[in-house]
Amino acid sequence: MNDLTPYTTIIGLEVHVQLSTRSKLFCRCENRYGAEPNTLTCPVCAGLPGALPVMNRKAYELSVRAALGLHCEIPLFTKWDRKNYFYADLPKGFQTSQFDLPLSQHGYLDISDPKGKFSDKRIGIIRAHLEEDAGKSLHDEVARKADSRIDLNRCGTPLLEIVSEPDLRSPEEAGRYLSELKLLLEYLEVSDCNMQEGSLRVDANINLHLRVDGEFKATPIVEVKNMNSFRAVQRALAYEASRQYDQWQESGRCLGDPGVTKETRGWDDDAGVSRSQRSKEESSDYRYFPEPDLPPVVITEAEVATHRLALGELPAALRTRLVQEYQLPEVDVDVLVNQGRALVEYFLLLAGAINDGKIASNWIQQDVMRYLSEAGVTIDDYPVTADQLGDLIANVLAKKLSTSRGREVLAQMVSAGETLEAAMQSLGIVEVDSAATEQLCRELLEANPKVVADIKEGKIKAVGALVGQAKQQNPNVQPQEVRDLCLRLAGEM
Amino acid sequence: MAIVDYTATELLERMDSRELTSREITAAYLAQIERYHGEVNALVRWDAEDAMRTAEAIDARREGGEPVGVLAGVPVVVKDNLCTSDHVTSCASKMLANYLSPYDATVIKRLKAADAVILGKGNMDEFAMGASTETSAFGPTHNPWKLGYIPGGSSGGSAAAVASAMAPLSLGSDTGGSIRQPSAHCGVVGLKPTYGRVSRYGLIAFGSSLDCIGPMGRTAEDVARVMSVLAGRDPRDATSIAGPVPRYEESCREPLDGVRLGVIDEQFGEGIDDEVADKVQTAIRQFEALGATVHHISLPHIRYAIAAYYIIAPSEASSNLARFDGAHYGYRAKDISNDEKDGPLVAMYRKTRQEGFGEEVKRRIMLGTYSLSAGYYDAYYLRALKIRRLIAQDFADAYKTVDFLIGPVTPTPAFEIGEKMEDPLAMYLGDSYTVGANLAGLPALSLPCGLTTAGLPVAVQLQGPALSEEGLLQLACAFQQESDWHLSRPELIKPKDQNG
Amino acid sequence: MTLSEADVRKVAALARINLSDEDALRLTTQLGDVLRYIEQLAEVDIEGVDPMAHAIEQVNVLADDTVEPSQPRDVMLGNAPRRDEECYRVPPVLGD
Ligand SMILES: [Mg+2]
Ligand SMILES: [Zn+2]
């Protein structure tokens, strides 16, 4: 609750991420997006009579890895359960999931906003569990009476469901939680987290806490679905919060009132509204029971420790280290780390090559990242290696190139795929020796007695005109060198 | 002796010595099927041409000196809940009347690899739910010993096929007694293996944590031969058991030595038919004569087995049978009304399942759905799982003092067709002596041990600890060497013309 | 605990099975009988007993993450009550 809103927004997120295994969770069909409908199925994933599941070891291991990245406890015994419900894209009539003994629980994810919109915060993770994905129903939007078409390719894709505590207090916090979660899972290489391809999906539970005449009130919890981007999640939550407030003012209905059930609403991003989805009367009776076809999995403390050791450096720790080791501002570190592990590795190489983190960070943020975003590629596809860029920056630092000339050289290296030397040659950059520079300065001083007089009077700024003229006459001169030389020679005159 | 009077072991010997061909053998059994199908209805479908082609191919290979499998040329009937890629697999249900499985069950693959000749599909209770083979969508199977009587179930077709000499061997499945009870009622040997000893991959699931596939035949030795082919870990069934598989047909001939048999006192109490009790007691004395010692054993929780079973099995079934909803395969109801409040898809599900399933299947789905539903789970399902452990513990305790348990398979001999159809509970109580082995996952065998005055078979049940199939078969084999119940045949198929 | 016809109808809705009035009546009696029999489980002392969900209790039966060919689409769609070239077809999820 603050001055702007008379309520506190309470948000918990359920995130489903597809795990990057080669094959599906219970069969050996390929786990791949974008294939022709129904070409990646078999008796097991299509739920044919008599077929049985066998758990993919890699899917379990990736789940444990992700859970450890989220600081979860890993119980030494876990099992799977059947969640029974009927749906056309669920060919077995149940989803094999985890109910009372998930493979991980009680974790957290720290979020912070370097721009200071909210203070640092620890978001609790209730649990992360491993389950199978369903297929897809392709509804005919034009004629609602027509058949639905069913594609079962996605059936049996391994999903990690990550359930947060209702610790989020604003759409901004939810957005930051999601981007931090996505980043973590990418660092851990457990999922590609591609939202367009549905490998990361978000459902949000949201309600409002209010205080009316000193009395605590809570609005009914609503589950919001169908949000296809992090931006859509934030828009939907903002919309839902104000919608709930309006509705509460109108109806006064509270959580726990007779007849109040959990409502599911679908977000329509184009229209910018959420709409109530048909609620099934018995929708919550999933009749969970232990999956008889799958033996449970046990893990030892030693195995958990091995998984923990193999996690590598994760975003939060990396940020702290970069701030400490390179004296970079938090905002800059945030930008670098959020680009993913590959870009951070590029940064580390570059900073090492030129022995300066700040300069490396500037070049990456100003030049490299701009190119990446304009070209729509990742650092893996960037044509200039960290070593090559390091050589270029070394030339700039040695004042052999001006910064702006250096940028032109880098652009040439990127666009033409040229080496540093070739790019400099293409741009006609040759080193001007000091004798030639001195000769040029003398000529300019003699041709501009007014400037010399100004300098002698202490109007140092006047030298700028000479630097400009020098660059016009020979673009390869070092502006700094020209400036220094002119000032010295004018003093001697 | 006619071809159909030989045991599978004898048939294999005669094919080895070139006295008989698989072609002749297969033709003889097919003729038997044609002759008695109308009266017994043991098979839901068979393909004579296909079977003859297979038999001829095996003959040719044997003739050419090529290696052949251990069941080469022997006909086998398989229960219709085992998926076969070459013919319809229907589970005796309207729901799957035209269903073509794209794959073979692991046991079918193993039979084929052993060069068995699969004759056709055995009739059964719909989705294996029943104890009488009366709930089949293709009509009831009749007991070859007395046609007005049930053959037992759910593997009634597989048992009746062997009893009426339509096949020397068959496969059944046993979730609560469905191999042993029809074997008892039809006077054949039936083995329910340890849970997981035989892969369930391709067995259309009923109660997944209870289902076992097993062999049926006239002698323990025949059954042992099939068991050697079926047993072993399957990477496609995560619940299957790893470890070496014995040559059961060799070990079953070893002499008995100092075997301790436990008689379950609870199974000779209320509800048991006098004649059944008498025949079983006689059999126990015969085992004593063979050198076994007999001890009295109590299983304190076994009286709760039926109640626990009729929660666990229907619960699992309600989930396993959810997939039969008309969406992706199988029956789909026509003329779906569009005005139901839940929309046309749900309307399609409801009508399809109303029309596609028979009464007993719907009853069990309802029972299981209820047991698992919100508010009842703890009182029913979870409690049943705990009592299941107590029952398993009773068995484990018993096997600390005895090697095997002995008792009846069923409380009564076969009853008349139609007698219990309107009283499900009475039907369920028929499984009283068999469900314990399923709940505990342990092996058990039904062994013919007499005929009632009405001419209906009676059997003794041998039960053992996990993976004790060798011992059970050895006991049965020893018994059969000293008795000849397994040689007697129903009047129906006795040659009438010659001896008339 | 007695089973009412309303209970039976609720369970039928969960199980997606249409019931005629006659079915509902008969099932109420038959399932009621069975449930009354099952009531005897309440007398067993289950204090401290772990549930037994599997007949033979194994753990860690896992498969390697290798890819094998899927089934041809025409084979998989071959049993579909209704289909097109690519997909299964079912009545629309929602009516109008
Ligand atoms: Mg989920
Ligand atoms: Zn598959």
pLDDT in tens, B203-241: 999 999 999 999 999 999 999 999 999 999 999 999 999
C87:A37 CB<8 A = yes
What is the mean predicted confidence (pLDDT) over A158-182? 97
Q: How many other β-carbons are positioned within 10 Å of the β-carbon of residue A343?
A: 21
B132 is catalytic: no
Query: Minimal Cα–Cα distance from B204 to chain A, Å?
Result: 4
Q: How many other β-carbons are positioned within 10 Å of the β-carbon of residue B129?
A: 31
Backbone angles phi, psi at C64, to 5 degrees: -70, 150
What was the pLDDT predicted at B340?
Answer: 66
Torsion over CA: A175, A177, A178, A179 (sign):
positive
Cα(A38)–Cα(A29) distance, integer angstroms? 11
Would you kindly state where each structural domain of chain A is located, as residue ranges? 8-301, 313-426, 434-492
Residue C12's domain comprises: 5-42
- Burial string for B276-300 (b: 16+ CB within 10 Å, else e) reads bbebbeebbebbeeeebebeebebe
Q: What is the largest CA-CA distance in chain A?
A: 100
What is the mean predicted confidence (pLDDT) over C28-42? 96
Mutation target for B interface from A23, A86, A92, A284: give the one with most B CBs within 10 A. Answer: A86
Of B340, B351, B441, the CB nearest to C56: B441
Q: Which ligand has the nearest atom to the CA of A95?
A: 1
What was the pLDDT predicted at B339?
Answer: 64
B298 is catalytic: no
What is the mean predicted confidence (pLDDT) over A90-113? 97
Cα(B479)–Cα(B406) distance, integer angstroms? 13
Q: Residue A8 pLDDT > 90, yes or no?
A: yes
Q: How many CB pairs under 8 A join A and B?
A: 104
**CA of residue A430 to ligand 2 center, whole Å:** 63
Which residue from B69, B55, B103, B80 is spatially nearest to B170, judged by alpha carbons? B80
Backbone angles phi, psi at B474, to 5 degrees: -65, -45
C87:A56 CB<8 A = no
Which DSSP category does B82 fall into?
B
Paired tokens of B163: 């009893």
In a domain, C37, yes or no: yes
Cα(A429)–Cα(A87) distance, integer angstroms? 68
Query: Minimal Cα–Cα distance from C89 to chain B, Å?
Result: 7
Paired tokens of A278: 């048909």
Residue numbers in C near B441 (CB within 8 A): 54-56
- Residue for token pair 């700024």: A461
B322:A94 CB<8 A = yes
Query: Minimal Cα–Cα distance from B62 to chain A, Å?
Result: 33
Contacts of B478 (CB under 8 A, 6+ apart): B255, B256, B290
CA distances B48 to A350, B27, B55, B76, B102, Å, are 78, 8, 10, 13, 21
Q: Residue A327 pLDDT > 60, yes or no?
A: yes
User: How confident is residue B41, by pLDDT bands cut at 50, 70 and 90?
Assistant: very high
A431 compared with B79, residue with greater pLDDT: B79
Kindly report which listed range (A419-433, B147-161, B282-296) carries the lowest average pLDDT score: A419-433
**CA of residue A101 to ligand 1 center, whole Å:** 14
- The CA-based angle A74-A80-A83, given to 5 degrees, is 130
Q: Residue A1 pLDDT > 60, yes or no?
A: no
B319:A47 CB<8 A = no
- Residue for token pair 């232990």: A290
Cα(A124)–Cα(C80) distance, integer angstroms? 45
What is the mean predicted confidence (pLDDT) over A206-212? 94
What was the pLDDT predicted at A486?
Answer: 87
pLDDT tens, position by position, B174-206: 999 999 999 999 999 999 999 999 999 999 999
Cα(A206)–Cα(A351) distance, integer angstroms? 44
**CA of residue A84 to ligand 1 center, whole Å:** 12
For C35, the enclosing helix (H) or strand (E) is helix C21-38
Q: What is the CATH architecture of A434-492?
A: Orthogonal Bundle (1.10)
What is the mean predicted confidence (pLDDT) over A148-167? 97
Cα(A399)–Cα(A432) distance, integer angstroms? 12
B145 compared with A468, residue with greater pLDDT: B145
What was the pLDDT predicted at A141?
Answer: 59
What was the pLDDT predicted at B136?
Answer: 98
Q: How many domains does chain C have?
A: 1
User: How confident is residue C96, by pLDDT bands cut at 50, 70 and 90?
Assistant: very low
In a domain, C15, yes or no: yes
pLDDT tens, position by position, A253-293: 999 898 888 899 999 999 999 999 865 544 579 999 999 99
Of B102, B202, B374, the CB nearest to A285: B374
Cα(B43)–Cα(B159) distance, integer angstroms? 10
* Beta strand spans in A101-231 (E): 104-111, 121-132, 136-138, 148-151, 158-164, 200-212, 215-218, 222-227
Number of helices (H) and strands (E), helices first, in chain C?
3, 2
In a domain, C61, yes or no: no
What is the mean predicted confidence (pLDDT) over A392-400? 89
Helix axes A171-187, A57-69, angle to 10 degrees: 130
What was the pLDDT predicted at A477?
Answer: 80
C50:B100 CB<8 A = no
From B22, B93, B132, B154, active-site residue: B154
What is the mean predicted confidence (pLDDT) over A13-38? 98
Decide: helix, strand or coil at residue B32: helix
Q: What is the largest CA-CA distance in chain B?
A: 72
What was the pLDDT predicted at B500?
Answer: 37
Kindly report which listed range (A193-207, A269-283, B276-290) carries the lowest average pLDDT score: A269-283
Query: Is the CB of A176 inside 8 Å of chain B's CB atoms?
Result: no
pLDDT tens, position by position, C58-84: 999 999 999 999 999 999 999 999 999
Residue numbers in C near A29 (CB within 8 A): 67-68, 70
Of C16, C60, C92, the CB nearest to A144: C92
Question: What letter represents residue A178's amino acid?
Answer: L
Cα(A219)–Cα(A166) distance, integer angstroms? 14
Of C41, C53, C76, the CB nearest to B304: C41
Q: Residue A443 pLDDT > 70, yes or no?
A: yes
B414 compared with A479, residue with greater pLDDT: B414
Backbone angles phi, psi at B449, to 5 degrees: -140, 15
Decide: helix, strand or coil at residue A297: strand
Q: What's the pTM?
A: 0.92
Query: Minimal Cα–Cα distance from A83 to chain B, Å?
Result: 9
Helix axes A315-326, A171-187, angle to 10 degrees: 90
Query: Minimal Cα–Cα distance from B483 to chain C, Å?
Result: 34
> Which DSSP string do the residues of B362-411 spell out, in sequence order?
HHHHHHHHHHHSTTTTIIIIIHHHHHHHHHHHHHHHHHHH-SEEEEES-S
Query: Is the CB of A94 inside 8 Å of chain B's CB atoms?
Result: yes
Mutation target for A interface from C76, C77, C79, C84: give the one with most A CBs within 10 A. Answer: C76
What was the pLDDT predicted at A402?
Answer: 83
What is the mean predicted confidence (pLDDT) over A216-242? 95
Of B91, B202, B323, the CB nearest to A92: B323
Whether the complex's predicted ipTM surpasses the cut of 0.90? yes
What was the pLDDT predicted at B384?
Answer: 98
Chains that touch B (3 or more CB pairs under 8 A): A, C
End-to-end Cα distance, chain C: 40
**CA of residue A89 to ligand 2 center, whole Å:** 14
What was the pLDDT predicted at C94?
Answer: 67
Decide: helix, strand or coil at residue A55: strand
Cα(B184)–Cα(B275) distance, integer angstroms? 14
What is the mean predicted confidence (pLDDT) over C9-33? 96
Fold designation for B3-266+401-499: Amidase signature (AS) enzymes (3.90.1300)
User: How confident is residue B499, by pLDDT bands cut at 50, 70 and 90?
Assistant: very low
CA distances A430 to A388, A422, A473, B220, Å, are 18, 11, 14, 98
Contacts of A435 (CB under 8 A, 6+ apart): none
Q: Residue B498 pLDDT > 80, yes or no?
A: no
Q: Where are the alpha helices (DSSP H) in A53-111?
A: 57-69
Query: Is the CB of A175 inside 8 Å of chain B's CB atoms?
Result: no
Q: Residue A171 pLDDT > 70, yes or no?
A: yes
Query: Minimal Cα–Cα distance from B182 to chain A, Å?
Result: 23
User: How confident is residue B375, by pLDDT bands cut at 50, 70 and 90?
Assistant: confident
Percent of the residues in chain A that have a pLDDT greater than 70, as a whole number:
97
In a domain, C54, yes or no: no
| Average pLDDT, rounded, for chain C | 94
Q: Residue B269 pLDDT > 60, yes or no?
A: yes
Q: Residue A431 pLDDT > 80, yes or no?
A: no
| Average pLDDT, rounded, for chain B | 96
Residue numbers in A near C59 (CB within 8 A): 295-298
Residue numbers in C near B354 (CB within 8 A): 17-19
Which DSSP category does A166 fall into?
S
Mutation target for A interface from C17, C64, C70, C79: give the one with most A CBs within 10 A. Answer: C70
**CA of residue A87 to ligand 1 center, whole Å:** 14
Contacts of B34 (CB under 8 A, 6+ apart): none
What is the mean predicted confidence (pLDDT) over B135-159? 98
What was the pLDDT predicted at A474?
Answer: 81
| Average pLDDT, rounded, for chain A | 92
User: How confident is residue B406, by pLDDT bands cut at 50, 70 and 90?
Assistant: very high
CA distances A464 to A439, A441, A461, A469, A472, Å, are 18, 12, 6, 9, 13
B178 is catalytic: yes
A195 neighbors A231 (Cβ within 8 angstroms): no
Mutation target for B interface from C52, C58, C62, C89: give the one with most B CBs within 10 A. Answer: C52
